[in-house]
Structures are given as C-alpha cells and as structure tokens.
Amino acid sequence: MPVAVETNEKFATYAHPERLVSTQWLAQTLASGAGKDGSLVVVESDEDVLLYETGHIPGAVKIDWHIDLNDDVTRDYIDGAAFALLAAAKGISRDTTVVVYGDNSNWWAAYALWVFTLFGHEDVRLLDGGREKWAAEGRELTTEATAITPASEYPVVERNDAPIRAYKDDVLAHLGKPLIDVRSTEEYTGERTHMASYPQEGTLRGGHIPTAASIPWGRAADSDGTYRSREELEALYLGEAGLKAGDDVVAYCRIGERSSHTWFALKYLLGFENVRNYDGSWTEWGNSVRVPIAKGIERGDVPSIN
Amino acid sequence: MTTSQALPQALAEIVNDFQELEERDRLTLLLEFSRSLPALPERLSNHPELLEQVVECQSPLFLTVEAEKSDHGDRMRLFFQAPREAPTTRGFASVLYEGLDGLSAEEILAVPDDMPELLGLTRAISPLRMRGMSAMLGRVKRKIANGVSPAA
C-alpha cells in the first residue's frame, strides 16, 4: 500500500508534487511507523560507498549505483531479474513507496530513482535536500544496522528504457530538438573533459553535443540541496535554455548521473512529458567515431549527418 | 600474492589483514581506517596552501609529505586531509598513512604502483573509486621523487 503523498506550498507549484517529500514529512512518517510494515522503504544512495555506514536515516537501506545498479560486465544497468532480487532483498515490493536520498544534493539519489523508473516502479520519491539537509537539521542518523524483512516477491519486470533513456543513435536522430548539457562550463566548452577535482574517465575530446544548451546541474539546487522553486527552474530551463512547453528534451552529462538530477527537475517539477537521460553521455559521445561535436561557449549548429 | 613480499612491513600487514577478510568485511575494515586518520597538525591545517589536492579522488583530498631527520637518515612524514563525508577517501588515506608514514624515501618509492589492488576492494568499491587510491599513492611517490623539504 503506497503512503499518502505530501502536500505543501512549495511542492504544490510543481507538476508532480507526489515525487518529492520533505525531511519533516519523512521524519513524521517514519515516526508513525510507516517504515515497519513494508509500505515505505527509505533508500540511501551516495557517491561515497561507505558514507551510509557512517550513519544513515534509521531504517534506511543502502543501494550503491556502482555495485548494485550497474551490470558489472556490459556497460548497462542490471536486468529485470537482478533488479527483482535487489528490490526484494531490500524489502521493496512492487507497491512499496520508495523514498530515495543521498549526498551531494541528491545527485546519486536521483540517479537511483531514474533506474527505479526504468523498471516502472510506480511510487518512488526523492527526499528534497537529501542527506545534507537531514543532517543539517540535526535529525537522527544511526550506525545501527537496518533489520530488513525481505519482500516476499518483486516481479521480474523487463526494463522499459525508451521513454526516459536515450542511446547514442537516439541522440543523433534527436539533433535539432533541445538538448541540455548539465556539465560544468569548462567541460561544455571543451577546456576540460571531466569535472574539476574528479577522476578522468577517459574522454578523448572536449566539447559538447552541437546545439546543446549549457545549464550545469547544480543550478537546479538551492544552497541547502533542495530543488529551486518552480519559478526559478522556469527561469533556468524555459528562459535561459529556451525550452518550450511540450518540447522533447534530452539531458546528458558525462556518464548520466548528474543529468538524472536535471531529468527529475524537467520531468517531475516542470512537467515535460518527454525527457530522456542520455546515460552514455560525454564518455560515449566524445569518443565516438565520426560523431559531430561543438567546442567553445556557443551552442553550435545542427550538423548534417551523412 | 607475490607482490606483497616487496611491501614495507607495516603495509604488508595491512594488506594481509584485508586479504584475510571476506569482501564485505573488507569494507568494514576500510571504514575503521577512515575513522583513525589523524587530524592535521595546526601548522598545516591553518595553511591549506601547503597541501596539494589529489584531483583524481572523487572527494576533496589534500596531502603533503615532509622529511624528518633521524639517526637512520631522513624519514618521510605523511599528512592527509579529507572531509568526514568522504569515508572511502579517508580510508584510503589512512591505509597509506599507517602503512608508509615514517619510512625512508627509498622504501616508499619501492612500493608497487598497483599496491591498492592488493587490498581486494576493487569489486566492492568499484574500479573507478579505486583509482582515487592509486592516484594518492602516485602523488605521494611523485612528491618524494621530486624532493621533499624538511618540516618548517
């Protein structure tokens, strides 16, 4: 049984307020015992693989993007059978309300949420502000191991990539329609091929997909890690990036994680129906043979593809 | 592992401790290491410009190496700083600190570059994250190879 959605003034302005919960709501809902009967499972998903172990929201389970969600052989996500095993082991049934939170303004949490969505898990929400906000408010974090009651069953669902995931060929076919590049300006212009202070992930060329607008992902988040107001998001994506209602949009970054955060904002907060995350992102595009790129701060023109 | 024979004793013991554990327990051990990383002495924590950032690490990691005179020649002193929110990075730093601090330049330079792989964490941590530790070791060795100045 899904848990009732939160209503508050800020969320009400968004297109899909049911996709967010506040720290206060989560604390109250947990206190009311919703986490005890399997109706609500809180998932922590972090960049740092050990951060959960240093203290997590009481009752939360951990899902690691590298270890749990990526297939370790192909460059792909796990399949339906593996996802069913993972979900059930974490106490998640098909009708469980899943609330995901994490470090770095929910960057990896949004990625986990996006992967849950590939499998059509219906009720998956993001904790607005993530781990930092929860901690900053002095709410409880515990190192006590979560006693998980595995779900009796999670169905094997075939991943449905098409609505929210773009492959390279999809992006080539998409050229001419809006693209949002969520990497840093230095990565967009081609000055760098990875974020400052982050590991090089092996991209040969620097630049961006021609015509992509540059809106670094973090601009969608406020200083406390929560999403910016609808008005502010509209100024960013409709104003600055030039998106129009009804647009078919593709967001990308370097490996598809930062762009999940933007995908969430476009899809659920601003209500764009057709938003896809191109998870191959720059590590694929920037290395692909005969694929056009643009350099510098200008968006560039639609290339003619032979 | 044959390579571990070439490791300095303290580091070889740490590698053994990791290898004797199941994969899951290795993560717990790394977490314990992350907790024991000593804080920087004030003369360094008040002067962040004296530290170098290892940009290959996912989280901000700063380090420096100083030489300390002893009866047996110069000893290398290692200093690391990483935030609490980055336990994996702190854990790696702490392994290097406990395994290498106080050794001679030659001993540290002889540590194989692939030493981090001996910890058996690659699958549990992911290859991408392991790169951060290799980069840290590389930076320590490069600093030493370029010549380390005595403590101020």
- pLDDT tens, position by position, B17-74: 999 999 889 999 999 999 999 999 998 888 888 888 776 656 778 999 999 998 888 9
Distance, in angstroms, between A130 CA and closest chain B CA? 13
Task: State the average pLDDT over residues B113-137.
Answer: 88
pTM of the model as a whole: 0.89
Better-predicted residue by pLDDT, A167 or A195: A167
- pLDDT tens, position by position, A195-225: 555 555 566 789 999 999 999 999 999 999 9
Task: State the average pLDDT over residues A238-267.
Answer: 96
Optimal mutation site among A46, A47, A48, interface B, most CBs of chain B within 10 A: A48
- Dihedral sign for Cα atoms in the order A270, A271, A272, A278: positive
Q: If you measure CA to CA, which chain A residue comes closest to B29?
A: A50
| B147 — pLDDT class (breaks 50, 70, 90) | confident
Give the C-alpha separation, B15 to B20, whole Å: 9
| A229 — pLDDT class (breaks 50, 70, 90) | very high
Q: State whether residue B59 sits within 8 Å of chain A by CB.
A: yes
- Give me the pLDDT at residue B2, please: 47
Task: State the average pLDDT over residues A258-268.
Answer: 97
Lowest pLDDT segment from A22-31, A48-57, A189-198, A282-291 = A189-198
Pairing of the two strands A40-44 and A61-62: parallel
Q: Is the pLDDT of residue B4 over 60?
A: no
Pair of tokens at residue A294 = 């643009």
The percent of residues in chain A predicted with pLDDT above 70, rounded, is: 95
Taking CA atoms, A192 is separated from A119, A185, A205, A295, B121, in Å, by 34, 9, 9, 11, 29
- Give me the pLDDT at residue B130, please: 85
Task: State the average pLDDT over residues A230-250.
Answer: 98
Residues 6+ apart with CB under 8 A from B30: A50, B87, B88, B91, B92, B95, B119, B121, B125
Better-predicted residue by pLDDT, A25 or A198: A25
Interface touch A66/B128, C-beta < 8 Å = yes
Q: If you measure CA to CA, which chain A residue comes closest to B35?
A: A54
Interface touch A50/B55, C-beta < 8 Å = no
| A306 — pLDDT class (breaks 50, 70, 90) | low
- Give me the pLDDT at residue A66, please: 82
Task: State the average pLDDT over residues A249-278.
Answer: 96
- Which of A253, A266, A275, A293 is an active site residue? A253
Give the C-alpha separation, A74 to A29, whole Å: 39
Give chain A positions within 8 Å (CB) of B82.
none
Quick check: is A253 catalytic? yes
Q: If you measure CA to CA, which chain B residue comes closest to A66?
A: B126
- pLDDT tens, position by position, A73-103: 888 999 999 999 999 999 999 999 999 999 9
Q: Is the pLDDT of residue B152 over 80?
A: no
Interface touch B126/A67, C-beta < 8 Å = yes
Binding-site residues on chain A for chain B (CB distance < 8 A): 47-51, 53-54, 66-67, 72, 103, 196-201
Q: Is the pLDDT of residue B1 over 70?
A: no
Backbone angles phi, psi at B60, to 5 degrees: -60, 120
